[in-house]
Structure 1
């Protein structure tokens, strides 16, 4: 049985037990991993994530009143109830409730009209691994109301609504990447996102490549304070050059003024400017099936995060080195996500997946004292109806 079918069966059983009826609708929204383009999103740059086949699944039926009854299978089948006729406020309980409330409140504020619903949902996106379990929930809920009530709601707007809910209701200042690839991903493809215009382009992945995600299980520390510091340094650099964002800054312009910038500000800017170029070159490499070029670009991205942006850790660097020694130039590997722990992502040919797993199992814990989690993924379709 597929992972998706296990989720569908679990949410359907829970829905029927909680609401004494069968659901009318089944939808899914995937998690994501970013292949390349780190800390470029809030600098209006380019990112290249793909949706992965770990996802959130929801089943639902309409109601005739304004009541939302929603059940989280993953939180002991807890059922939360509220009315959309009332002002929807932040709830002091399990945090999942506020993602639900936020998405629905933002949809209503955008002028969409709908009645109540009974909903049950579950997800298998690993939480806390930086693979966007929260974005998958936001997007799957938007998809539920689009499908249940035939709302004239584009996939991009589902993503923007989810981001708004997270920014303004939940209170996390995320960019648009996670929600957009969850809503608009295409099976077998990565998604190039221009974070300035929100234009997207599907980029075909070579069929022989697996998306391997390895969680270092290094507890992510410093993320908030260091993230804010890096963001300020990027804004400082853009301001120095009179640019709205580092997206507008060329490498030549940056290098010409190196001596006038503080060293850490220069290095942050250099990471972002060179990373944007690497994203666009990676698109070309993927489309041409040029694994040697892709290997080099992902290695350069990791080195830039380590040496210029300074967001890797010794454990993450060790994990990247172990994988790199196994795959050579036949695939790419780098840290992915905000930094200071979390996951690495590797694009690995079919015949090297098990050797990579074995090399990591043999060396990572011995070197770091930590035990990894290993996920083999495929690039899957974005959110949509599955029943």
Structure 2
């Protein structure tokens, strides 16, 4: 991260001909288990990772946010702070910032002032590691601290979630919540109904591997919203507010009242919530065998019931599963789906064999190489006045 900090700070000084006053950072995340359960009021078990978004900023004495995005080919945008801020026609990255700004401006009338900002990140875009949530939380926490808005980190996360809805993505709270509230050396189990956070220690003898299929997913306007609608339909049939409140006996009793697709979507969510709770116990106990069983079951459920995997991520999971062997195959697709990354939890001595297997086999399936990252569980959002 030092590299992106140095690059970002230097770019700020060159763009705005002055030194920055503020520094903000928020990480991306990887979800160990609990996919598409967050917007169903359920449980998820993510951790913050060592890749994220950096911002350097200075007040500019105007009513405008002026921002340079280094990772968007040095794209630049500016917009006035107002209770209503229109979306930009072509700059998707700026719309995340616009969405956060208009909500905070409406809630804290007159408190926000103009800022000059330079942004740089190292979360791979389109990899399912929450580059957008990292951006939203980094920016929201910047505004929160610079202008003394006194919002909690969870409120900043909720504002980021609403910014996603502003651009057309009805996502759950997981990505923003863990970016804001990550804890070093811990996954965090998030109750997405109550917003309770429970630290789950990651055993020191386990490594988290993130394998990017390099099949980019784009969830805005995609099948993601269709999956959410199916879940809402199932919840209505079952007479519950969220699928988190349903049980498998309830679902089986109502099977003849719903089509097969709706039934399978609901089955994934209900069983996935159970897996998250069991996986939390397995992590705390250092029980890799049980964690392996639960993570692979999660992948099968995403593949067969929720239908959000693709052949490349399925292939990666099978390559890693075979390389690790029985009782150690803690691997699954992670993220919203339709591409992106696979996550594996492995012993340090197995890391190289997994890398060797991927490098030897994946390109034959996909025509491209995978990118492999090692990470530990990291802290969430930070802010500093320089």
> Which of 336, 345, 348 is the matching residue for 1:347?
345
Report the Cα distance in structure 1 between the residues aligned to 2:251 and 2:378, rounded to whole angstroms.
38
Alignment partner, residue 233 of structure 1: 230
1:27-55 CA distance string (max 9 Å, x none)? 21011111111111221111111111110
Q: Is the 8 A contact 1:71 1:80 kept in 2?
A: yes
Alignment partner, residue 274 of structure 2: 277
Report the Cα distance in structure 2 between the residues aligned to 1:257 and 1:66, rounded to whole angstroms.
55
Report the Cα distance in structure 2 between the residues aligned to 1:202 and 1:378, rounded to whole angstroms.
14
Q: Is the 8 A contact 1:28 1:383 kept in 2?
A: yes
Alignment partner, residue 293 of structure 2: 296
Q: Is the 8 A contact 2:267 2:305 kept in 1?
A: yes
TM-score by structure 2 length? 0.93
Alignment partner, residue 91 of structure 2: 94
Give how far 1:220 is off. Answer: 4.3
Alignment partner, residue 153 of structure 2: 155
Q: RMSD of the alignment, in Å? A: 2.1
TM-score by structure 1 length? 0.93
Report the Cα distance in structure 2 between the residues aligned to 1:385 and 1:221, rounded to whole angstroms.
29
What secondary structure is seen at the aligned counterpart in 2 of 1:202?
Answer: strand
Alignment partner, residue 70 of structure 1: 67
Structure 1 unmatched runs, 5+: none
> Which of 236, 243, 247 is the matching residue for 1:246?
243
1:189-244 CA distance string (max 9 Å, x none)? 11111111121112111112222111223354898554344333322322222112
Alignment partner, residue 331 of structure 2: 333
Q: Which stretch shows the higher mean deviation, 362-371 or 251-260?
A: 251-260
Give how far 1:88 is off. Answer: 2.7
What secondary structure is seen at the aligned counterpart in 2 of 1:140?
Answer: helix
Report the Cα distance in structure 1 between the residues aligned to 2:337 and 2:309, rounded to whole angstroms.
6
What secondary structure is seen at the aligned counterpart in 1 of 2:306?
Answer: coil
What secondary structure is seen at the aligned counterpart in 1 of 2:207?
Answer: strand
> Which of 87, 94, 114 is the matching residue for 2:112?
114
Q: Is the 8 A contact 1:61 1:148 kept in 2?
A: no
Report the Cα distance in structure 2 between the residues aligned to 1:374 and 1:73, rounded to whole angstroms.
24
Q: Is the 8 A contact 2:82 2:106 kept in 1?
A: no
Q: Which stretch shows the higher mean deviation, 211-220 or 319-328?
A: 211-220
Q: CA separation of 1:77/1:340 partners in 2, compared to 1, >3 Å: closer, same or farther?
A: closer
Report the Cα distance in structure 1 between the residues aligned to 2:77 and 2:221, rounded to whole angstroms.
30
Give how far 1:312 is off. Answer: 2.0
Q: CA separation of 1:341/1:79 partners in 2, compared to 1, >3 Å: closer, same or farther?
A: closer
Report the Cα distance in structure 2 between the residues aligned to 1:47 and 1:141, rounded to whole angstroms.
24
Give how far 1:289 is off. Answer: 1.0
Report the Cα distance in structure 2 between the residues aligned to 1:225 and 1:181, rounded to whole angstroms.
23
Q: Is the 8 A contact 2:279 2:291 kept in 1?
A: yes
Structure 2 unmatched runs, 5+: none
Give how far 1:73 is off. Answer: 1.7
Q: Which stretch shows the higher mean deviation, 200-209 or 108-117?
A: 108-117
Q: How does 1:173-184 map to 2 (within 5 A)?
A: 173-184=170-181
How many residues align? The count is 383
Report the Cα distance in structure 1 between the residues aligned to 2:189 and 2:311, rounded to whole angstroms.
30
Q: Is the 8 A contact 2:169 2:225 kept in 1?
A: no
Q: Which stretch shows the higher mean deviation, 274-283 or 41-50?
A: 41-50
Q: Is the 8 A contact 1:14 1:77 kept in 2?
A: no
Give how far 1:97 is off. Answer: 1.9
Q: Is the 8 A contact 2:293 2:329 kept in 1?
A: no
Alignment partner, residue 44 of structure 1: 41
Q: Is the 8 A contact 1:60 1:119 kept in 2?
A: yes
